[in-house]
A and B are shown apart, each in its own frame.
Chain A
């Protein structure tokens, strides 16, 4: 059990890093990685939302969307038992779960940890449209070769958040240095950031094959 969870974490943090090998969450990755402090804040908020949303979307997928006897809605409307709601409601229900969760986290933080809320302030609402959050929910429930359990799905969400944070931290370190270097005029800003990301992805490529 512990070995399996460790494998999931290593795989999703290093081998299949969401930013560097799956191209998920690039907008905040480039937008918020100019300073190390904001990169850490954004990473923490994303990790939190990702973990919770993986857990909740797993429950929604298994008990609301999938056809079968465990479907909660089928208890009220028996005709749903055969087909389930998986084809028509998956995307909408996931994005609504994530949007609600982000709103909830925002309110909770404002009430309970005002200092953290102040420092994350503007980044929180942005998480709704971070494609890494929706991406991990979709990958947890569809794209995997074997159906993940509740614990595995949650751990995968947590690991993906950690991987995102690590990539952002590395990038913010590089970009803080880049600000001091003489770069050809046309490449300044976003273009050089992309080229650096490419080189980082090349380095992370070394991890591939570590986990089957």
Chain B
């Protein structure tokens, strides 16, 4: 543990915030307040929390359908995300997207993509625009290890390296693509070798250790900005809950889940902070109270939110309406 206290507190706070948000979502989903699909980030908080500080507001973020943690860590308010989950028009996507399609252009947060691998080309394009307009910015693209099987992954890795685009490819390897273990779907489960096959700089990181993630992110973003190359990080992590709410987890043994829970990024970091004298009980209680307050406020905000009038259904299909059509 060698991070200064203020950064450590901030990282812990972010992880606690994400955890609390996700648990509240699980509860609200069971109650029917949140509908559709719900993919929770519980257990993986260190990744989003550790990566975001390496970015400026000028950089861009593309994520997946399991993106609540990324959205919150990036800077979307808990209330706008919660309202979106409820489908209210006060949500970040005006209630149009729901859990899987969080967007906030002011935070340069480009979703929220429900197609596995579907966000990678967009990230490549955002980076291409930056390079062509000579802006020294990074586009961070989060995806799961399941996306590595999709053609888009290979097309994008190749294109980004070929054209030297400033993309940070962040593969969150939680070992399971829905119900299929990585070992059952990949001939080579060592993911950085795939990056090497495209000549791309890469590293593997312990995704349960927020400090390791933080440092790896700083280094990767630095390399991208200074060398003008893309970068690939594999973050080894684990989701403590099912793929989505409707998943009886027949594909992994309970013992394995319990084993990984012992490496919970939050409790392990808490302990390390305590051991380094950077955290005491009072501070932790204060942090948790702050988080609880924020989440409760977000729920109240979402509850009080309003439904978009159905007459507005066709708004924003096109910018320009053509009469007579």
Does A pair with B?
A: no
The residues of A with any CB-CB pair to B shorter than 8 Å are none
The residues of B with any CB-CB pair to A shorter than 8 Å are none
